[in-house]
Amino acid sequence: MNIARIKRRRRILFLLLGFSALSISGTLILLATRDSIIYFYSPTELLNKNNIENKLIRIGGLVKTGTLKRKENLKINFVVEDGKNEIKVEYQGILPDLFREGQGVICEGKVIKNNIFSAYKILAKHDENYMPPEVADALKKSGKWREGENN
Amino acid sequence: MLVELGHFCLALALSVSILQFVLPIIGIKLKSTRALATSTYSSYLFFCLVSFSFISLMWAYISSDFSVALVAQNSHSLKPLIYKVTGVWGNHEGSLMLWILVLSLYSLALSIIGKNIPLKIKSIVLSVQGLIASAFTGFILFTSNPFLRLLPPKLEGEGFNPILQDIGLAIHPPFLYLGYVGLSITFSFSIAALILKQADSIWIKWVRPWAMLSWTFLTIGIALGSWWAYRELGWGGWWFWDPVENASFMPWLAATALLHSSIVAEKRNTLKAWTILLALIAFSFSLLGTFIVRSGVLVSVHAFASDPSRGIYILLMLILFTGGSLALFAKNAPKLKSGNMFSPISREGAIVINNIIFSAAAATVLLGTLYPIFIDALTTNKVSVGPPYFESVFIPLMVPAILLCGFSPMLTWKRAVFDNIYERIIFIFIVSILITSFLIYIRNGSAMTFLGIFLSIWLFLGTIYDFFERILRGKSFNEVAKRIVSYPRSAYGMSFAHIGVSIFILGATMSTAYKTEIETSVQIGDKIIVENKELIFESIKQNQGPNWLADVATFRISHNESDISFLYPERRFYPASQINTSEPAILSRLFYDLYIVLGEKDIKNKNFAVRVYYSPLLNFIWIGIAFMAFGGILSLSDKKHRVSYKTLRKNRNLSIK
Is residue B4 less than 8 Å (CB to CB) from chain A?
no
Say how many CA atoms lie within 13 Å of B210 toward its Cβ: 27
Residues of A in contact with B301 (CB under 8 A): 123, 125-126
Of B299, B580, B581, the CB nearest to A134: B299
Query: Is B475 a residue whose pLDDT tops 80?
Result: no
Do the chains contact at B383 and A151, CB–CB below 8 Å?
A: no
Assess contact for B140 and B290: CB atoms under 8 A: no
Crossing angle, helix B387-407 and helix B418-442, to 10 degrees?
130
Contact criterion met (CB below 8 Å) for B458 and B475: no
On whether the CB atoms of residues B129 and B16 are closer than 8 A, the answer is no
pLDDT band at B456, cuts 50/70/90? very high
On whether the CB atoms of residues B517 and B528 are closer than 8 A, the answer is: no
Chain B within 8 Å of A129 (Cβ-Cβ)?
A: yes
Name the pLDDT band for B175 (thresholds 50, 70, 90).
very high
Query: Is the model's pLDDT at B437 over the cut of 80?
Result: yes
**Distance of residue B73 Cα from the nearest chain A Cα, in angstroms:** 11
Q: Please say whether the beta carbons of B189 and B105 come within 8 A.
A: no
Per the model's pLDDT, the better-predicted residue between B307 and B513 turns out to be B513
Mean pLDDT of B621-648: 87
Give dist(CA B113, CA B126) in Å, integer.
Answer: 13
pLDDT score of A149: 37
- Across B388-398, average pLDDT: 89
Domain boundaries, chain A: 1-36, 39-142
The burial class, CB within 10 Å (0-12 / 13-18 / 19+), for A93 is middle
For range B102-129, the mean pLDDT: 94
With beta carbons under 8 A apart, name residues in chain B contacting A126: 161, 163-164, 301-302
CB contact at 8 A, B634 and B492: yes
Instruction: Kindly determine whether residue B392 and residue A31, on different chains, have CB atoms separated by under 8 Å.
Output: yes
B413 interfaces chain A, CB cutoff of 8 Å: no
d(CA B51, CA A42): 47
Which of B80-89, B484-493, B648-657 has the lowest average pLDDT?
B648-657
Closest CA to B449 of B459, B458, B460, B440: B440
Q: Answer whether A39 sits within 8 Å of B382, measured CB to CB.
A: yes
Which residue has better confidence, B344 or B410? B410
Backbone dihedral angles phi then psi of residue A109, each to the nearest 5 degrees: 170, -150
Q: What is the pLDDT of residue B104?
A: 97
Per-residue pLDDT at B546 exceeds 80: no
What average pLDDT is seen over chain B?
A: 88
**Average pLDDT, integer, range B245-274:** 92
- CB-count burial class (<10 Å; 0-12, 13-18, 19+) for B14: buried
* Alpha-carbon span B276 to B196, nearest angstrom: 13
Contacts of B642 (CB under 8 A, 6+ apart): none
Interval B4-20 mean pLDDT: 96
| pLDDT value for A147 | 44
* C-beta of residue B153 within 8 angstroms of C-beta of residue B70: no
CA distance B81 to B100: 24
Contact B301 A72 (CB under 8 A): no
pLDDT band at B121 (very low <50, low <70, confident <90, very high): very high
Q: Evaluate if residue B47 carries a pLDDT over 80.
A: yes
What confidence category does residue B521 fall into, taking pLDDT thresholds of 50, 70 and 90?
A: confident
Burial class (CB in 10 A: 0-12, 13-18, 19+), A79: buried
Distance of alpha carbon A13 from alpha carbon B348, whole angstroms: 14
Nearest CA in chain B to A7: B341
Contact A132, B243 (CB under 8 A): no
- Is B393 in the A-facing interface, judged by CB distances under 8 Å? yes
One-character DSSP codes across B114-130: TTTS-HHHHHHHHHHHH
Which residue of B lies nearest to A136 if distances are taken between CA atoms? Answer: B299
- Name residues whose C-beta falls within 8 Å of residue B344's C-beta, 6 or more positions apart in sequence: A10, A13, A14
**What confidence category does residue B87 fall into, taking pLDDT thresholds of 50, 70 and 90?**
confident
Question: Residues 104 to 133 of B: which have CB under 8 A from any A CB?
Answer: none
Instruction: Give the rounded distance of the alpha carbon of B615 from its chain centre.
Output: 24
Phi, psi of B186 (to 5 degrees): -65, -35
Provide mean pLDDT across the span B210-217: 96
B601 and B608 Cβ atoms separated by less than 8 Å? yes
If you measure CA to CA, which chain B residue comes closest to A28?
Answer: B393
Is B518 touching A (CB cutoff 8 A)?
no
Asked whether the predicted pLDDT for residue B160 surpasses 60, the reply is no
Residue B629: is its pLDDT beyond 80? Answer: yes
Report how far Cα B54 is from the mean position of its chain's Cα atoms.
23
Per-residue pLDDT of chain A (151 residues; tens, 9 = 90+): 577 677 777 777 777 887 787 778 777 777 777 777 888 888 888 888 777 777 888 888 888 888 888 877 778 899 998 888 889 999 988 887 778 788 788 888 998 877 889 998 887 654 444 556 666 666 666 666 554 433 3
Residues B358, B359, B361, B365: is their CA dihedral positive or negative?
positive
Residue B302 near chain A (CB below 8 Å) = yes
User: Identity (one letter) of the amino acid at B272?
Assistant: K
* pLDDT, average across residues B23-41: 93
Helix (H) or strand (E) holding A58, with range, is strand A57-63
**Residue B338 forms contact with A (CB below 8 Å):** yes
d(CA B377, CA B244): 20
Q: Which helix (DSSP H) or strand (DSSP E) does residue B550 occupy?
A: strand B549-558
Is omega for the bond preceding A43 within 30 degrees of 0, making it cis?
no
Nearest to B609 among A21, A74, A134 (CB): A74
CA-to-CA dists, residue B101 to B50, B129, B466, angstroms: 6, 13, 42
Q: Which of B353, B388, B579 is closest, CB to CB, to A97?
A: B579
Q: Taking residues B392-405, what's their average pLDDT?
A: 92
- CA nearest to B258, candidates B239, B240, B283, B238: B283
Q: Would you state the torsion angle of the CA atoms of residues A93, A94, A98, A101, taken in this order, to the nearest 10 degrees? A: 60
User: Which CATH number among 2.60.40.1080, 3.40.50.2300, 2.40.50.140, 3.90.1150.10 corresponds to the domain A39-142?
Assistant: 2.40.50.140
**Which residue type, as a one-letter code, is found at position B439?**
L
* C-alpha triplet B36, B40, B46: angle, nearest 5°: 125
